[in-house]
Amino acid sequence: MSKKRVVHYINQFFAQIGGEEMAHVKPEYREGPLGPGLAFGPAFGDHAEIVGTVICGDSYFNENMEEAKAELLKMIKAAKPDLFIAGPAFNAGRYGVACGAISEAVKNELGIPVLTGMYEENPGADMFKSAVYIVSTRNSAVGMRDAVKKMSALALKMLKDEPIGASSEDHYIPQGIRVNLFEKDRGSKRAVDMLLKKLKDQPYVTEYPMPAFDRVDPQPAVKDIRSAKIALVTSGGIVPKGNPDHIESSSATKYGRYDLEGVNYLSKNRYATAHGGYDPSYANEDPDRVVPVDMMREFEKEEKIGSLYRYFFSTVGNGTAVKNAKAFAEEFSKELIEENVQAVILTST
């Protein structure tokens, strides 16, 4: 029996071409498995093999999405695959969007089974979970072995035309589709069993998970804005040129704190954005478009506000985990409270 043909998509990093400095590379095709694809071989066994790998830089794909999809589809079609796999992208935002977008395109244009893998907080997961199977992974490549195990198991089901089980069974992110299942025990017994486990502080899994919404109570309005000290915070990635804190262009693990003493506006000669999720041209041309220091100084002169806080805080929101973002805010908010800052203007992209 001949092995089923699989084509695999990866970005420039996993193709070992380079990091962010090589994110502009255009689509290319290479024979056989490469990078993470090498781990799929043993998992596929005699059933399937990766016959080719398509590669594209994250920046090139996201900045030229339609052209990139068209180029990649030609390469994939020429390889005549029985299945297409993308990633896993973990929590890399642009990579996740690329994996989801090309998987959806292959499914719709070529009519073959597709799947990808990424962390549930990856923006690509929310964008494409209803369109393609996305295996849930950890948030970094540390979880590669587990991701390959789950992705290959689902891939083999697809290749063998076996029915796909519930998301909890086949480890993909729920797609909002409900199916009927037959349980061994009746509902009343299962409910009591769960209740007893809960009362004993034992682990249990609900059959009807409710969405968890992070609600923040609004603060009272500033009593006197004309005397208030106001701080600027941004997820738009504005940093001093050279990015001294080495804030990642995606999936940031840190933020920066930058002095505004004597700064009346953010000069393009001194500031730029480190953000990798949007066209930086306009932000780099005038960084005040993202962090409006110039207008805040005007408001100070006109006595519309009390003062602008001496430091602004900046990170990159592109693919950044909610957990990290909360940690950043909890840390620098202590300083803002200690310095009697009454309000914060939070800007994005």
Which of residues 126, 148, 170 is at a domain's end?
A: 170
Looking at residue 168, what is its pLDDT?
Answer: 79
Which of residues 128, 149, 170 is at a domain's end?
A: 170
Whether 166 and 34 share a structural domain: yes
Looking at residue 208, what is its pLDDT?
Answer: 76
Whether 162 and 30 share a structural domain: yes
Question: CATH no. for residue 166?
Answer: 3.40.50.2300
Whether 77 and 163 share a structural domain: yes
Looking at residue 1, what is its pLDDT?
Answer: 59
Q: How far apart are the C-alpha atoms of 321 and 324, rounded to whole Å?
A: 5
Whether 162 and 265 share a structural domain: no
Looking at residue 93, what is its pLDDT?
Answer: 84
Give me the percent of the chain exceeding a pLDDT of 70: 99
What is the domain range of residue 298?
A: 225-347
Please tell me which residue, 110 or 215, carries the higher pLDDT value. 110
Q: What is the mean pLDDT of residues 327-347?
A: 95
Looking at residue 205, what is its pLDDT?
Answer: 83
Position 194 in a domain: no
Whether 235 and 156 share a structural domain: no
Whether 237 and 333 share a structural domain: yes
Please determine, for residue 153, whether its predicted confidence score (pLDDT) is greater than 70. yes
Whether 12 and 136 share a structural domain: yes
Please determine, for residue 25, whether its predicted confidence score (pLDDT) is greater than 70. yes
Position 190 in a domain: no
Residue 96: which of 165, 173, 176 has the closest Cα?
173
Residues 6+ apart with CB under 8 A from 147: 88, 90, 117, 135, 137, 138
Whether 133 and 60 share a structural domain: yes
Please determine, for residue 213, whether its predicted confidence score (pLDDT) is greater than 70. no
Position 319 in a domain: yes
Is the pTM higher than 0.85? no
Whether 162 and 231 share a structural domain: no
Amino acid at 122: N
Please determine, for residue 298, whether its predicted confidence score (pLDDT) is greater than 70. yes
When mean pLDDT is compared across 47-51, 193-197, 322-326, the lowest value belongs to: 322-326
When mean pLDDT is compared across 3-12, 104-113, 180-189, the lowest value belongs to: 180-189
Q: What is the mean pLDDT of residues 292-320?
A: 94
Looking at residue 183, what is its pLDDT?
Answer: 81
Whether 60 and 131 share a structural domain: yes
Whether 132 and 12 share a structural domain: yes
Which of residues 153, 170, 187 is at a domain's end?
A: 170
Residue 89: which of 63, 52, 64, 126 has the closest Cα?
126
Position 214 in a domain: no
pLDDT digits (tens, 9 = 90+) for 63-84: 899 999 999 999 999 999 999 9
Whether 231 and 121 share a structural domain: no
Position 209 in a domain: no
Alpha helix (H) residue ranges in the chain: 37-44, 58-63, 65-78, 93-110, 123-128, 144-159, 167-170, 187-199, 281-285, 293-301, 322-338
Looking at residue 275, what is its pLDDT?
Answer: 92
> In which band, very low, low, confident or very high, does the pLDDT at 60 lie, cut at 50, 70 and 90?
very high
Position 176 in a domain: no
Position 291 in a domain: yes
When mean pLDDT is compared across 73-82, 96-105, 200-209, the lowest value belongs to: 200-209
What is the Rg, in whole angstroms, of the alpha carbon atoms belonging to the chain? 24
Q: How many domains does the chain have?
A: 2
Position 175 in a domain: no
Looking at residue 211, what is its pLDDT?
Answer: 67
